[in-house]
Structure 1
């Protein structure tokens, strides 16, 4: 099992009135990590790119501690918890060397933009996702 690590820069405008990254920005960070995995990395490794479309069916986030702005990027570890015929669950940890700031999960459904309906995960996509699968990862 491999985890994909995305180095996500923090932007000055991500801070809220309390001086830490606003909770809604975490969804943006997770999206950036997921897109890096499912589009850029999958395309490079020959696993398809999910470019025909995918939609988010569910997000779940546990905020563990405030993340304050700094100039170093935060690491977002991403892995696949489960793969079904027409959906997958992606898990994340937003962290640095000192702490884990959030743990999250996203249910993603492959989607045919041309047909405007959900579709099955292709064999190539499944083979790619399996490389990042970790059902037994400790979450919580």
Structure 2
């Protein structure tokens, strides 16, 4: 199984009043990792794969433990858990060597930029996504706040 690895810096403005990374900021971290993944996934020049737009149809996040602000980046592993006709589900783990802080998934729908309407995934896109396909993470470790 291949996973895309993204090194995500933490910013001072990411903290909440308790010194933890704010829960809403994790959506931005996931977005950064997803964009890096999708743009690096497409093959070289001339390929139309993932060059058009996409929209997020759904996010699901399990916060496993607080992430305290620090100067070292966190690692975000990204992979594909579902490939449909007109959407794909991307899963993530936000972690470092010591802990996993968040497990999440996002349903992404490709759109036609000219019409603004959803479109089907191309066969080329499905083949590329399949290279990163794996099972969804187990979310039973979520910590009740």
Q: Considering the TM-score relative to the shorter chain, is it more than 0.5?
A: yes
Report what 2:111 is aligned to: 111
Give the distance between the partners of 2:101 and 2:18, measured in 1 at CA.
16
CA pair 21-49 structure 1, distance change in 2 beyond 3 A: farther
TM-score, structure 2 normalization: 0.90
Report what 2:14 is aligned to: 14
Report what 1:139 is aligned to: 138
Kept in 2: contact 1:20–1:66 (CA 8 A): yes
Report what 1:54 is aligned to: 54
Matches for 1:1-140 after TM superposition, within 5 Å? 1-44=1-44, 48-135=48-135, 137-140=136-139
Instruction: Kindly state the Cα deviation for residue 75 of structure 1 after the two structures are TM-superposed.
Output: 0.3
CA pair 70-43 structure 1, distance change in 2 beyond 3 A: farther
CA offsets per residue over residues 77-102 of structure 1, 9 Å max, x none? 00000100100000000000000000
Unpaired runs of 5+ in structure 2?
140-145
CA RMSD, Structure 1 to Structure 2 (Å): 1.7
Instruction: Kindly state the Cα deviation for residue 138 of structure 1 after the two structures are TM-superposed.
Output: 3.7
CA offsets per residue over residues 2-28 of structure 1, 9 Å max, x none? 011100000011001010100000000
Instruction: Kindly state the Cα deviation for residue 123 of structure 1 after the two structures are TM-superposed.
Output: 1.5
**Is the helix fraction higher in 1 or 2?**
1
The 3-state SS of whatever aligns with 1:125 is helix
Instruction: Kindly state the Cα deviation for residue 50 of structure 1 after the two structures are TM-superposed.
Output: 1.6
Deviates more, 1:47-56 or 1:116-125: 47-56
